[in-house]
Amino acid sequence: MAYQIAVDVGGTFTDGVLLDEAANTIWVAKSLTTPTDPGEGIARVVEMLLAKKPGAAGHGAGDIERVVHGTTLITNTLLERKGVRTALVVTRGVEDTLDIRREMRYDTYDLAATFPEPLVPPALRFTVGERIGPTGDIWRPLDQKGVEELGERLAGEDVSAVAICFLHACVNGAHERQAADILRMRSPERSYSLSSEVASEVGEYERMSTVVANAYVQPIVDHYMGVLGKRLTGLGITGRLDIMVSHGGFTEAEVAARFPIRLLESGPAGGVLSAINCGSAEGMDRILAFDMGGTTAKSCVSIGGVPAITNVFEFARVRRFKRGSGLPAVSPSIDLIEIGAGGGSIARLSALGLLQVGPDSAGSEPGPACYALGGIQPTVTDADLVLGYLDADDFLGGAMKLDVEKATEALGALGGQLGLSAEETAWGIHDIVNENMAAAARTHIAEHGHDARSFTFVSTGGAGPVHAIDVARRLRIPRVLCPIASGVGSCLGFLAAPARADRSWSRLEPVGDVDRDGLAHRIEAARDEIAGELAKAHVARTDIVWRTAAEIRYRGQGASIEIDFGAAAIADLEAERLLAGFEAEYKRLYTRIVPDGVPEIVTWRISGQSPRAQRRYAFPASDEARFSTAPKGSRHIYLPGEKRYATVPVYDRYRLPAGAVIAAPAVIVEPESTLVIGHSASIRVLPTGTIQVDLEYAR
């Protein structure tokens, strides 16, 4: 038998899943995250999973073929500004690009708008003489002597990483490579990030921001991957280590350590893939994925089993929901929107004296007040406990006890400032979080041109099912799915993810004047690189699913649109097809084309991935005599629709047989999560074990 392990490190919990590949059987483990040393929490979860392996040799690890891992390390390092001291080398005259940004305000009417400080201060920005033109021609050779002198100067600086970003290096990266070679000779112990390798696309500010962020975290991630590999080897695991990437695929650890900026949305991407996998198994192709953990809640739209993708992701926003208030990163990423707080998000009074939830989180240390680990501030988890949605004695299947008294005390202290009881404060927190999430999701869906009512809402994450029904109801979504092991949904998504690699390059040229020979050479070279990378994940070139896309705009426009040509052969990318694809998409977006406009190609994108496989997960076979539609007990919970507390039945999820139909309101518990149905609905268990909730709305 062969096994795989998936591990997701979140802000509060580290989740793990062990998969028997042949039978698609899973075992689950969950433990508090160890923020000072995430590897310790990973090792603990892996040990728990190995102990659950069937057979006399259950503790052996020799048959673990691979470990796939998603992490928030990069995101947290950037948000907390805990990266390494980094130097930036640029073309002389553009050293202020990080300060100038786009010269745009993210909020026109906010006269006090602030922006995040650049990751590299002015004192660590260095310039050299060189100049490459926008078509890749060398206008001024690299000042090699100047670079050598810079190398001597950097030798005296306390920096661990160097980012190199020259003008138009996305078209011709020769000068960046030459400069890096010279600097490496002077300081080989430092890490070097080149914009032509990290983000080879037009947009000087975005490219510079991306390469700086990559350099800022690269030594930390490289060390982390090395230590993690040693920990796994120490546990007897000799299989390969794969890392989840933001675009919804995985790559090998070596590539991830070199380009850590690609892992920004590593963990949340798994939740989206899990939701898509669940929806596809039930024949539903319009999915709104909703993943809520201990720190944040995120959502994504998926049509036809394909998640929305963005090529520029923004991190470290000063205003969480304000696009343009953060730092950009050029990297393919699932188009997630952060739509609210997580279970550990802290509630307090705002500057206006109103109840506010988040954005900061209690995490795992000190955790919510009810964890009794030192936290004293009220959180979403404390509110959910007081509302009856969580069981103090059966949290994590009884592995962790919650303290209702401490939660009530924390909520009461906050409520005292508002003139509210602890219970009223708890509902206020829950209500604010759900409304914020519904409002953000509604906007996200509308921006993609869709109607929320046409989607199926798929909920994952430890806190997701607690809030899912009420959020879906606010969106008027008719159906909610909750897959098995939803509390570790990201891990299930990791296991369902394909291996994937991407390449992109910018070259501005009119559609009618494309250098076809040069294009064919670039595409073939990109595919060779991708095939070589995927071969390390045991993906044969003949099995690769290719995708070619081009960003095209009218000459003189600042914004371009991406045209997807799928698996088109190079010979099929003729000017007529490029033009037809562009005009059709332009008409769809703007109703008409520009008379006498000259379409020009800005960026080419090539991706290759292994075939996407449908996974149907199941827990080890149980004694059918255990199955029953009878509740295991009851619980006093708050019903939002009736604005009162009531006693409702509580069901053990994995004792409910396939085909079971139960009435709402109800609470359905499993070790890693709790599904709360506090509104009128019909509930049934599907053959896959997924729970389907059809919400009822008054006409």
Residues 646, 545 within the same domain? no
Separation CA 446–CA 343 (nearest Å): 27
DSSP characters for 156-183?
Answer: TS--SEEEEE-TTTTT--HHHHHHHHHH
Find out whether 388 and 637 touch, Cβ atoms under 8 Å: yes
Count how many domains the chain has. Answer: 4
Range of the domain at 538: 500-609
Percent of the chain with pLDDT over 70: 98
User: According to the model, what pLDDT value does residue 603 have?
Assistant: 93
Among residues 188, 218, 248, the one where a domain terminates is 218
Q: Say yes or no to pLDDT of 56 above 70.
A: no
Of the candidate ranges 189-193, 307-311, 501-505, 634-638, the one whose mean pLDDT is the lowest: 307-311
Helix, strand and coil percent figures for the chain, each rounded to 5: 35, 30, 35
Of the candidate ranges 28-37, 48-57, 172-181, 512-521, the one whose mean pLDDT is the lowest: 48-57
Taking residues 504-518, report their average pLDDT. Answer: 88
Residue 31: which CATH number?
3.30.420.40
The band of 340, judged by pLDDT with boundaries at 50, 70 and 90, is low
Mean pLDDT of the chain: 89
Find out whether 308 and 302 touch, Cβ atoms under 8 Å: yes
Taking residues 453-466, report their average pLDDT. Answer: 91
Give the residue, 361 or 145, on which the prediction is more confident: 145
| Contacts of residue 643, Cβ cutoff 8 Å, sequence gap at least 6 | none
Taking residues 586-592, report their average pLDDT. Answer: 91
| Contacts of residue 549, Cβ cutoff 8 Å, sequence gap at least 6 | 562, 563, 564, 565, 604, 605, 607
Rg of the chain in Å (alpha carbons): 26
Q: For residue 426, is it within any domain?
A: no
E strand intervals along 576-663: 599-609, 633-639, 644-652, 661-663
User: According to the model, what pLDDT value does residue 352 have?
Assistant: 84
pLDDT in tens, 642-651: 888 999 999 9
Closest alpha carbon to 8 in 425, 295, 427: 295
Q: For residue 115, is it within any domain?
A: yes
Residues 88, 209 within the same domain? yes
Residues 173, 111 within the same domain? yes
Give the residue, 276 or 567, on which the prediction is more confident: 276
Residues 164, 95 within the same domain? yes
The band of 602, judged by pLDDT with boundaries at 50, 70 and 90, is very high
Q: For residue 391, is it within any domain?
A: no
Taking residues 424-428, report their average pLDDT. Answer: 93
Taking residues 334-342, report their average pLDDT. Answer: 78
Q: For residue 437, is it within any domain?
A: no
Residues 560, 634 within the same domain? no
Taking residues 188-214, report their average pLDDT. Answer: 93
Taking residues 178-183, report their average pLDDT. Answer: 95
The band of 306, judged by pLDDT with boundaries at 50, 70 and 90, is confident
Find out whether 142 and 130 touch, Cβ atoms under 8 Å: yes
Q: Say yes or no to pLDDT of 620 above 60.
A: yes
Q: For residue 284, is it within any domain?
A: no
Q: Say yes or no to pLDDT of 426 above 90.
A: yes
Please give the structure tokens belonging to residue 277.
């996998």
Residues 98, 197 within the same domain? yes
Q: Say yes or no to pLDDT of 698 above 70.
A: no
Quickly list H helices, 476-515.
489-496
Q: For residue 365, is it within any domain?
A: no
User: According to the model, what pLDDT value does residue 57 have?
Assistant: 52
Taking residues 661-678, report their average pLDDT. Answer: 92
Closest alpha carbon to 78 in 341, 314, 345, 294: 314
Q: For residue 466, is it within any domain?
A: no
Residues 199, 232 within the same domain? no
DSSP state of 593: P
Give the residue, 387 or 365, on which the prediction is more confident: 387
Cis peptide bond N-terminal to 671, omega within 30:
no
Separation CA 544–CA 488 (nearest Å): 29
Residues 90, 142 within the same domain? yes
Q: Say yes or no to pLDDT of 59 above 60.
A: no
The band of 210, judged by pLDDT with boundaries at 50, 70 and 90, is very high
SS3 229: helix
User: According to the model, what pLDDT value does residue 607 have?
Assistant: 93
User: According to the model, what pLDDT value does residue 164 have?
Assistant: 97
Taking residues 194-215, report their average pLDDT. Answer: 93
Find out whether 114 and 78 touch, Cβ atoms under 8 Å: no
Residues 204, 229 within the same domain? no
User: According to the model, what pLDDT value does residue 594 have?
Assistant: 93
Q: Say yes or no to pLDDT of 625 above 80.
A: no
Residues 21, 136 within the same domain? no
Residues 212, 139 within the same domain? yes
Among residues 160, 186, 218, the one where a domain terminates is 218
pLDDT in tens, 81-134: 889 999 999 999 999 999 998 877 888 888 888 888 999 999 999 999 999 998
Give the residue, 550 or 39, on which the prediction is more confident: 550
Q: Say yes or no to pLDDT of 258 above 80.
A: yes
The band of 190, judged by pLDDT with boundaries at 50, 70 and 90, is very high
Percent of the chain with pLDDT over 90: 47
pTM of the predicted protein model: 0.86
Among residues 263, 292, 322, the one where a domain terminates is 263
Residues 557, 646 within the same domain? no
Q: For residue 70, is it within any domain?
A: yes
